[in-house]
């Protein structure tokens, strides 16, 4: 069976995350993986053994993606362009297949990842913009962006990010390596756009890091409080978690 790798974009506003959720063996919520499974199986003419689409990252409820990666096996050969066009015809409008390519049987969307890049958008308007509310986090208090820029390098490197992991984290270790952490100030749009790259991220890690950075920018924390938080390994001291609406899975890197 030929294996296909697909790059997928989606608006996460109306999804309960990427991963299929079941209750008593039946899907109970609308998920990105669930919609992809339905489309792929329809394309494969609903085989006896259902095809399961495997994703690289399990994004949460309300989180968006520009570059989620999935793989799946089809029971017959179809040209990559045909797979892309066919799936985009079958999928709802809040999911788009950007690119499809055939890969070897040992390719795995999740286990072969080398690094990931996420973007987080923060609206700094006085009030919540109705046209941004599903696509940005919102922070209406005063911010000193120079303080944020001075704090960001403290995230770079290999650290134990236990203070930045939500209670639902189930990974064996909280040690992660961040290779990029920066912010773009878009004054005309009244937005801050954070970019983070790393080998992997913990459950809600980026949203917690953004929350800490915003509190640093607001003067509620010392500029280098991230160093202290890394040392104490205490999630309670990180406090604020930025909303899911501002988070985007931007790109996944493979060896």
Catalytic residues: 60
DSSP secondary structure of the chain:
--EEEEEEEE-GGGSS-SS--EETTEE-S--HHHHHHHHHHHHTT--SS----EES----TT-EEEEEEEEEE-SS---HHHHHHHHHHHS-TTEEEEEEEEE-TT--TTTTEEEEEEEEEEE--SS--TTTTTTSEE--S---HHHHHHHGGGG-EEEE-GGG--TT---S--EEEEEEEEEEEETTTTEEEEEEEES---TTHHHHHHHHHHHHHTTSS-TTHHHHHHHHT-GGGT-----GGGEEEEEEEE-
Q: How far is CA 192 from the centre of its chain?
A: 17
| CA–CA separation, 73 and 149 (whole Å) | 44
The residue among 144, 165, 155 whose CA lies nearest residue 216 is 144
Q: Can you read off the two tokens belonging to residue 92?
A: 């709802």
CA dihedral sign, ordered 225, 226, 232, 236: positive
Do 30 and 17 contact (CB within 8 A), yes or no? no
């Amino acid at each position: 069976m030929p294996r296909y790798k697909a790059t997928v974009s989606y608006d996460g506003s109306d999804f309960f995350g990427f991963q299929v959720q079941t209750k008593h063996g039946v899907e109970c919520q609308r998920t990105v993986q669930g919609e992809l499974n339905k489309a792929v199986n329809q394309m494969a003419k609903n085989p006896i053994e259902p095809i399961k689409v495997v994703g690289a990252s399990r994004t949460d409820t309300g989180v968006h993606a520009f570059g989620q990666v999935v793989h799946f096996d089809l029971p017959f050969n179809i040209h990559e362009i045909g797979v892309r066009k066919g799936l985009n015809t079958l999928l709802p409008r809040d999911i788009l297949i950007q690119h499809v390519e055939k890969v070897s049987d040992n390719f795995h969307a999740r286990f072969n990842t080398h690094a990931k890049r996420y973007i987080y958008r923060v609206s700094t308007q006085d009030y919540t913009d109705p046209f941004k509310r599903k696509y940005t986090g919102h922070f209406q208090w005063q911010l000193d962006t120079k303080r944020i820029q001075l704090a960001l390098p403290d995230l770079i490197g290999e650290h134990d990010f236990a203070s930045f992991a939500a209670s639902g984290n189930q990974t064996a270790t909280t040690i992660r390596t961040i290779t990029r952490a920066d912010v773009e100030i878009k004054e005309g749009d009244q937005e801050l756009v954070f970019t983070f790259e790393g080998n992997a991220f913990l459950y809600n890690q980026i949203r917690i890091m953004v929350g800490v950075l915003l509190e640093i920018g607001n003067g509620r924390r010392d500029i280098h409080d991230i160093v202290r938080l890394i040392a104490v390994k205490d999630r309670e001291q990180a406090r604020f978690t930025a909303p899911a609406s501002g988070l985007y899975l931007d790109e996944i890197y493979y060896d």
